Structure 1
Amino acid sequence: MIRGFTSVDGKLRPVETPMAGFDRLVWIDLANPTAEEEAHVEHRLAIDIPTLEEMQEIEESNRLYIEGNATVMTALVPWGVAEGKPAMGPMTFVLTGGRLITIRYHAPKSVVGFASWAEKIGVDCSNGEATLVGLLESIINREADILEECSRQIDTVSASIFREELAANETSRDFKTLLYQLGRAGELATKVRDSLVTLDRMVTFLYQIVVSRKGTSEKRARLKAVLRDVDSLTAHSDSLSQKVTFLLDATLGLVNIEQNSIIKIFSVVAVIFLPPTLVASIYGMNFDHMPELHFDLGYPLAILLMLVSAFLPYLFFKRKGWL
């Protein structure tokens, strides 16, 4: 699918038939493009659009380069977070002839809604470079929102782990659910950090190009602000990852403590019932000559002996504070 946008007074306006008004477009968004759509755009703009396999290359030289009059940049962009299936997908940004071309094979919320946001807010989208800067700001803002949501989830889990008392209907904490929630939060923070690393490289590369082309001071200032935001979000994601690691260690420690408490209870119960078992075993032997065999009070005496032999270890453990 091809989405096209033109600029009216610096604001983005969608074009219903992008191919018909191709020359007026400042932003061409290729979402899951077909081979025919790629070929058409390549022919009209005389550029080589990278394939999905090329976009997934990890070498920096394959993600950031200048080919003829086109500047090609690729970064990882988060998507699927709102649907509960967070993932990172490569997205390529091409600047050529005053236009911005984006190629993506997923639907990031920050990109899909950028056009309507830019139309309402009125950020500068007079050309491809300005539109790209605004799009990067939208992506960074979205990643900041994701990290904030991730931070709230981690704080909720932390409160559940370190609360002093259990709820009235709980016998123990649901450590399986807590570990699952921590794992998802840690995975999300790691994915966002991977995206921020690629965005940092891309924005630095773009800033050098804008400086070399003597771009406006406003554009350079916006790119510097984006770089500062990326640095601060990277530090925030590192902090969240460290907190997740700490909470995982704490949760596993609490699991070990609870397991040790259960094993201790079983051990104490086994020791308490060991003397009565010994008494019952002795009087359960079938020898002909046993002194208490024909004793009238033998049965209640054996029961009493078993109770006393069980109570004495219990009293000992209680006094030692092992119960």
Structure 2
Amino acid sequence: MIKAFVIDQDRLRLVDGLSSGGSPVVWVDLVSPTKEEEADIEAWIGVEIPTREEMEEIEISSRLYVEDGVYFMTATLPASTEGDEPIISPVTFVLAGNRLVTIRYHEPRAFQTFPVRAEKASIGCTNAETILIGLLEAIVDRLADVLERASRDVEALSKDIFNPTETKASKRDRSFQLLLKQLGRKESLTSNMRDSLTTLQRLSSFMAHATGQSKSSKDVRARVKTLSRDVASLADHSSFLSQKITFLLDATLGMINIEQNAIIKIVSVAAVVFLPPTLVASIYGMNFDAMPELKWNIGYPLALGLMVVSAVLPFWYFRRRGWL
């Protein structure tokens, strides 16, 4: 599908096809293009556009390059970021003079919100270069929102880990298992955001070099520099968030181990406490004729007393040592 936009009084306006009949088309958004649509765009900008397989290559030289004066820039962007399992796919930005082409196979939120905003208000979309910068700023804003939401969720999980509301050990164990799953999903989300921000860092550095080479306006170079700083700060925040999630994962496993050790300690103490009474009972359960205690009138209460004392003494010793 081809979405074509023209500039109308510093605002974007969606038109039908590449021949608008009025203002020249400045931005073309290609969504899962067909072979015919790719051929039309290649004829429009004068160079071949990358295929989906080429867009997915991880080498920097395959993602950021210049060909016949046309700049090709590919970044990995998330879509469906409302949940913890976003769709991650590459998006290619092709800047050919005053013509911009974006090629994508999924629906990042910024590609829906930015054209609507640029159509309703004048946000400085004067040429293809400023449209690209505005689009990238919208993408970075969206990534910042996702990281902010993830940060709030992680903070809530931290409180649940260190201040559990469940009083029963069995319920706490189930709660910790759920927390582990939630932390795992947050780590996956943060990892995807960090990968996306890494590609955007490289893209913004490449753009800064490109704007310097093309002698863009001072305002454009300033916006690109600000964009680079924003992406770098978000990358640092995502790294911090990833480290915090790793710490919480370790803390959760530690809490589970503490719970299990407490249960094992209670079982071990119970076994040691009941071992001496069991020994006494075993001795007086033997069937020998020469057992004088069997004929004592106080033999039975004496055996019971021995069993009680032999159970109380280990328990008292454990309490005194602070093991209970």
- The question of a shared fold, defined as TM-score above 0.5 by the shorter chain, is answered with yes
Preserved contact between residue 45 and residue 99 of structure 2 (Cα < 8 Å): no
Q: Distance in 2 between matches of 1:245 and 1:167?
A: 22
Where does residue 154 of structure 2 map in the other structure? 154
Matches within 5 A, 1:127-166: 127-163=127-163, 166=164
What per-residue deviation string (whole Å, max 9, x for no partner) do you get for residues 119-177 of structure 1? 234212222111100000001111111111121122112222233xx426543362222
Q: Which residue of 2 aligns with 1:309?
A: 310
Contact 1:26–1:126 (8 Å) recurs in 2: no
Partner residue, 1:176: 177
Q: Is there any run of 5+ residues in structure 2 with no aligned partner, and where?
A: none
1:192 aligned to 2:190? no
1:248-297 CA distance string (max 9 Å, x none): 33333323322222221111111011011112222232334433445565
CA distance in 1, matches of 2:232, 2:165: 41
| Alignment match, 1:45 | 45
Question: 2: distance between equivalents of 1:221 and 1:249?
Answer: 42
Q: Count matched residues.
A: 320
- Divergent runs of 4+, >6 A: none
Output the amino acid matched with 1:267.
S
**Who is 1:21 aligned against?**
20
For the pair 1:84 / 2:87, whether they are aligned, the reply is: no
Match of 1:55 in 2: 55
Q: Secondary structure in 2 aligned to 1:305?
A: helix
State the 1:229 CA deviation.
Answer: 0.6
SS in 1 for 2:292: coil
Mean Cα deviation higher: 188-197 or 71-80: 188-197
Question: Contact 1:69–1:96 at 8 Å: present in 2 too?
Answer: yes
Percent identity between matched residues is 51
In 1, Cα distance between equivalents of 2:122 and 2:281:
89
Per the alignment, do residues 39 and 298 of structure 1 end up closer, same or farther by CA in structure 2, a change over 3 Å counting?
A: farther
Give CA deviations for 1:11-54 in whole Å, capped at 9, x if unaligned: 11222x22453873221111112222222222333221111110
1:286 counterpart residue number = 287
Report the Cα distance in structure 1 between the residues aligned to 2:18 and 2:98, rounded to whole angstroms.
17
- Give CA deviations for 1:40-91 in whole Å, capped at 9, x if unaligned: 2223332211111101111111111111242111011122221331242111
Residue 255 of structure 1 is matched in structure 2 by 256
Shift of residue 300 of structure 1? 4.6
Letter in 2 for 1:129: E
Kindly tell me: are residues 287 and 2 of structure 1, through their superposed partners in 2, closer, same or farther at Cα, counting changes over 3 Å? farther
- Give the one of 150, 165, 185 matched to 1:167: 165
Partner of 1:227: helix, strand, or coil? helix
- Residue 202 of structure 2 is aligned to residue 204 of structure 1: no
Q: Report what 1:236 is aligned to.
A: 237
**8 A Cα contact 2:84 2:185, kept in partner:** no
